[in-house]
Structure 1
Amino acid sequence: MARYFSRMGGGSPISVTKDEIMADLIQGSEDAADRAKVPALSRDEYEHLLDIFCAREKFMSVEAGKEVILTYDACTLKIRRAGVNVDRIQALQIYEKLMGADTMELSHVDYSYKPIKPIAVSEQPVLEQALLGTHIPLFYGAQPNLGLYSQPDGPFPNPMELMPMGKIKEAQESYEASVEHLVKDIVYVASLMYESGADGINLDTSGAAGDADFLGALLATEELRDKYPEMCIEFGTAGEFVMGMHSELEYKGHRLAGMYPHDQ
């Protein structure tokens, strides 16, 4: 029986049969459908995925007319991480002119809105120069990263220290206080970048610190949309569902903890 190259979740290469691939597809789809309370994939969709996973070609594409626009988060950082020692504007030009990117994102090595806030005015001229040297839509992005607002990095008590002591209410109050400051920082930085010409703003990895982190990103998005109705806002989430660290937070009557993308 023919065998096909695949990888484990950790990246280790393995050899599998077509039946084993199909069994994994069905098991994964049914598990996800059960967790999210949505229908599993159809037989035709399974067969389509099986064709993709069993393709012998090293490079793959899609049918003409079914393309989607791709975005890059923190692309100016990742190209240096790969060993290409260029500055951020050159990195953006490489993504656009050599790699054919659809959109790009300028970002700072401190990839969170809180540390960017005090240097935001220094980021504005970099963004303006990047816009002059590129053509495709250019976002400015960072993570909400609510964890930076609790001690020792921020002013509020650390919920991860309070909860093991049974101080659940105090931990929840700390999360709630942090959200207010997070929203202010996101709106401040995003406003400066948008007024400097950014085509959009990216809230990357929203929800990484749980439902309070996710709520902060939602409230900041709402405030930015009211302030700049034409602003393009990309909202990237951290995982398959929102972690319930606070567990009781709601947005417009909807509980955030445990919320899957189709409900977001």
Structure 2
Amino acid sequence: MPELPEVETVRRTLNELVAGKRIRSVTVKLPRIIQRPAEPEQFADALAGRRIETVERRGKFLRIRLDGLVLVSHLRMEGRYGVFASDEPVELHTHVIFHFDDGTDLRYKDVRQFGTMHLFEPGREFELPPLNKLGIEPLEASFTLETLIGKLAKRSTKIKPLLLNQEHIVGLGNIYVDEALFQARIHPERTPDTLKPAEWKRLYESIRATLARAVDAGGSSIKSYVNGQGEMGMFQHQLLVYGRKDEPCPSCAKPIEKFTVGGRGTHICSRCQPIAKTRKTAAK
């Protein structure tokens, strides 16, 4: 958390709230949040006087484009942004504050302190970490059934960890992989080289449909996620298997099971998502 739908929702709300604003100064209270440049003072000095042009997204990262610089921000587990009047009290765990010249602040709060910020010259952000090895965007036109099969079909490791790997497909996290696999009727421990063409098609369609619905619902507020306006997402009310251990499967009423795959808690219906008994390469 947050995953693609949550970050996309934050992007949209932040774009409404801060695009066009000019940064007067920056306060960095927790230097380790700033990963590039090396010194927080350099970070603050570089941003002073810059205007925010737009807020974009790459995978689970925010790309805040300014006049002459790009700020790449990763929210990690519990990072969140909010816009406040400059004279409002600063909440605990607020680590970076962007002071605008209109009397408002963009404040970054992170209880877990895992979030990161990198500053780049435009274009350079795609050449260096953390964006340089990211895979394809699952909601863009370039993500096709053929692309999905081409990236994963020949691999013999479990399908769930592959879908979670951001070097293959970006933005998918534990919640949406569980939901997509359930809707595709694919067991998370299946390997790609056992999937039949019809299963690949279902998986492709379920990934896109699940993410699209989650974005429309503003993401899932499972723990502490809120958007840039402090609003919770609502997709958690539409989840079919994630977080529903022992509840009846919405398709067959068999209790949802939870176990670990690749170190991640995993929710399935063992009747709707049977594990394959034999391995055979089915996609070309």
What TM-score do the two structures reach when normalised by structure 1? 0.28
What TM-score do the two structures reach when normalised by structure 2? 0.27
Bigger proportion of residues as strand: 2
The structure, 1 or 2, with the larger RCO (C-alpha pairs under 8 Å, 6+ apart) is: 2
